[in-house]
Amino acid sequence: MKHLLSDSIVITKRQVLQLARIPELLIFSTIQPVMFVLLFRFVFGGSISTGQPGGYVQLLMPGIFVQTVAFTLAATASGLAQDMEKGLIDRFRSL
């Protein structure tokens, strides 16, 4: 626990460098939620009736938030699996 801050900084730097090398990751993480909001609000929003005040829009944003968290969780799990496969976690443990 004593190295939590320094380890977090190292991993954050690593992720930022990865975003600089692979800009598509930044595009997916920022544009995809906006695209889903616009798609589900303006394309499908008129055809869905919820029977609640405020309608479909009141349910849309929490749903998009949960969806974004789930997608990010899947990407994080995939990255962690790759790190474990390549031995990065073992190198961190040996420090």
CA nearest to 44, candidates 79, 14, 35: 35
Dist. CA 90–CA 64, nearest whole Å: 36
Q: Do the Cβ atoms of 48 and 56 come closer than 8 Å?
A: yes
Is the pLDDT confidence value at 46 over 80?
A: no
Structure tokens at 19: 């975003």
CB neighbours of residue 17 within 10 Å: 10
Considering the chain, what is the average pLDDT of its residues?
81
pTM, whole model, 2 decimals? 0.63
φ and ψ of 3, to 5 deg: -105, 15
Confidence bin at 11 (pLDDT 50/70/90): confident
Domain positions in the chain: 4-94
Confidence bin at 68 (pLDDT 50/70/90): confident
